[in-house]
Amino acid sequence: MPKEILEIENVSVKFGDAMILKNISFSVNEKEIVGIIGPNGCGKTTLLNAISGFVPLESGTISYNGQDIMDLPPYKRAQLGIGRSFQHAGIFRDLSVEDNIVIGLEKAEKYPWYWMFTPKFRKKADHTVKESLEEVDLLAHRKSLAGILSGGQIRLLELARLKLFHGNILLIDEPTAGVAPVLRTQLATIIRKLNREHGFAIVVIEHNLKFLFDLVDKVVVLVDGEKYMEGKPEEIQKDKRLQEIYFGGSV
């Protein structure tokens, strides 16, 4: 029986008078990849923001590894092991490519504040940065500002940093947004690697359904802030009503 690591129960989120999420419940098991789909504005990103602690809940509970995390600020949730990537890529464009890795590395590895001035840590960090950037073909851009990278390269950099994150679950928001088709395969490979080799459970939001269905174990469909259905990718694809109301005929 796989261990449940994230449990979302009857979660509702309200912005002003508008109810963005209504009684959403689902769970994520250890090393499972869960996809979240739905039309624009149905509350997918808000759901990830609620899990990360960036938006307050109107009602419901969120537990991580059996612990209620409702009262924890975002950084504490990250320290517990909930990693996050963002719709517009959480990369610091004014920092160098190298520093974007280092800022994640020094936190994840709990380096002392003076590590930059000790040869032992510098060597260790240098090795990790090199290895991480090599894996995503960004080593040549090591000293460049991250802001000059293309959309796809920025996504790869974000995933390279996530790989160094110490935790159990990653929330990935639209990894293929603004990415050229040629890079999508590489992104999928890295996400699979994060799951299989690094043992992360992954919750991924994606509009590219082919990309998503090839990747995930389970899909949660949101429509108008409510959970419409949940199931294996093949079950979701067969649902006639879903095809009509959401996919416009066929998947």
Q: How far is the CB of 145 from other proteins (least distance, A)?
A: 11
Binding status of residue 107 toward other proteins by CB under 8 A: yes
Binding status of residue 151 toward other proteins by CB under 8 A: no
End-to-end CA distance of the chain: 32
Size of the site for other proteins (CB under 8 A): 32
Binding status of residue 168 toward other proteins by CB under 8 A: no
Q: How far is the CB of 55 from other proteins (least distance, A)?
A: 9
Q: How far is the CB of 60 from other proteins (least distance, A)?
A: 20
Query: Which residues within the stretch 33-52 sit at the binding site for other proteins (CB under 8 A)?
Result: 45, 49, 52
Binding status of residue 15 toward other proteins by CB under 8 A: no
Binding status of residue 109 toward other proteins by CB under 8 A: no
Instruction: Give me the 67-106 binding string for other proteins, x by CB under 8 A, dash otherwise.
Output: ------xxx--xx---xx-xxx-xxxxxx---x--xxx-x
Q: Based on CB atoms, which residue is closest to other proteins, 146 or 236?
A: 146
Contact 26, 34 (CB under 8 A): yes
Pairing of strands 226-231, 4-15: unpaired
Binding status of residue 8 toward other proteins by CB under 8 A: no
Binding status of residue 124 toward other proteins by CB under 8 A: no
Q: Based on CB atoms, which residue is closest to other proteins, 107 or 142?
A: 107
Q: How far is the CB of 91 from other proteins (least distance, A)?
A: 8
Chain residues in the site for other proteins (CB under 8 A)? 45, 49, 52, 54, 73-75, 78-79, 83-84, 86-88, 90-95, 99, 102-104, 106-108, 111, 113-114, 116-117
